[in-house]
Amino acid sequence: MVPYDEFGLFEDNAREVGLPYAGPPIVRREFVPLADGRRLSGLVWGEGPPEIVLLHGGAQNAHTWDTVALAYDRPLVALDLPSHGHSDAGSNPRLDVMATAPDIATAIRALAPDAHAVVGMSLGGLITIALWVHAPELIRRMVLVDVTPGVTGPKAKAVTDFVNGPKSFSSFDEILARTIEHNPTRTVSSLRRGILHNATQSPDGSWVWRYRRFEDQASRPDLSFLWDVIDTVDVPQLLVRGMRPQSVVDDADEAELLRRNPGSRVVRVQDAGHSVQGDQPVELARILREFAD
> Average pLDDT of each block of 10 consecutive residues along the chain (293 residues)?
89 97 97 97 97 97 98 98 93 80 98 98 97 98 98 83 89 96 90 96 93 59 92 98 96 98 97 96 98 93
Q: In one letter, which amino acid is 177?
A: A
Q: In one letter, which amino acid is 254?
A: E
The reply to whether 279 falls in a domain is yes
Strand partners, 54: 78, 119
The model carries a pTM of 0.95
* Residue 154 CB contacts under 8 Å (≥ 6 apart), including other chains: none
CB neighbourhood size of 31 (10 A)? 14
The reply to whether 195 falls in a domain is no
The reply to whether 197 falls in a domain is no
Q: Is 146 a catalytic residue?
A: yes
Give residue 216's pLDDT: 47
Which position among 146, 247, 253, 275 bears the catalytic label? Answer: 146
Give residue 140's pLDDT: 98
CA 31, CA 180: separation in Å to the nearest integer?
32
The reply to whether 274 falls in a domain is yes
Residue 199 Cα distances to 145, 147, 172, 211, angstroms: 24, 25, 10, 8
The reply to whether 244 falls in a domain is yes
Q: What is the dihedral of CA 126, 130, 131, 132, to 10 degrees?
A: 110
Q: Is 84 a catalytic residue?
A: no
Spatial contact of 195 and 172, defined as CB atoms under 8 Å apart: yes
Give residue 94's pLDDT: 63
Which position among 56, 116, 197, 274 bears the catalytic label? Answer: 274
Q: Is 274 a catalytic residue?
A: yes
The reply to whether 159 falls in a domain is no
Give residue 263's pLDDT: 95
* Residue 136 CB contacts under 8 Å (≥ 6 apart), including other chains: 235
The reply to whether 217 falls in a domain is no
Q: Which domain holds residue 29?
A: 10-152+224-292
Give residue 218's pLDDT: 45
Give residue 91's pLDDT: 74
Total number of domains constituting the chain: 1
Residue 209 Cα distances to 8, 25, 123, angstroms: 20, 26, 17
The reply to whether 67 falls in a domain is yes
What is the domain-level CATH number for residue 26? 3.40.50.1820
Which position among 87, 122, 190, 275 bears the catalytic label? Answer: 122
